[in-house]
Structure 1
Amino acid sequence: KFLLTDRLFPRSVMYCLETLEVFLADLPGEDDGALRSTLALKRRLDHTRTAPLRGPALAAFIDEVQIELADIGRQIAATWFLEE
């Protein structure tokens, strides 16, 4: 729970998502897909009970979070960086 949902620990996923939300909200552009995805992942973490996650279930959950984070990264790259 500490590494996933703590809002005060700078290395937790939630803290990073909240920081990302602030910066994405300030970026120019019409596409808010990355911001919407960030908010959706924050909601998911808020509503996930982490206590019962153990072993394979925890690994699967973390894999899903990583996939969603990678998708947010792709959305940011596609919106604000040139593709070669």
Structure 2
Amino acid sequence: MSEIRKRMIFHGRVQGVGFRYTAKYLARSLGLTGWVENEYDGTVILEVQGREALIYKLMEGLNRNQFITIDWIDTEEIPVEKEQSFYVK
């Protein structure tokens, strides 16, 4: 299966609740690469790369966190990049 890369902007209660570090832990455990960062408007932007099924598992894990409340996600598929790991900006 080929890799894809997605840019997602998360809206809701996503800052100050451990979202970025939960995303980092889950992404690394699934072998995904990319990054996650808080934005000034209260959203969180995440770029993630890997197999689509594994990206789906990352999303399931984020939705299971009791402190995170995702109201909606703006998603777009973007070109794959060369990178080694997943990190918090």
Pairwise TM-score range, normalised by the shorter structure: 0.3 to 0.5
User: TM-score if structure 1 supplies the norm length?
Assistant: 0.37
Which structure's CA Rg is the greater one?
Answer: 1
- Greater RCO, 1 or 2 (C-alpha within 8 Å, sep 6+): 2
Instruction: Identify, as 1 or 2, the structure richer in strand.
Output: 2
User: TM-score if structure 2 supplies the norm length?
Assistant: 0.35
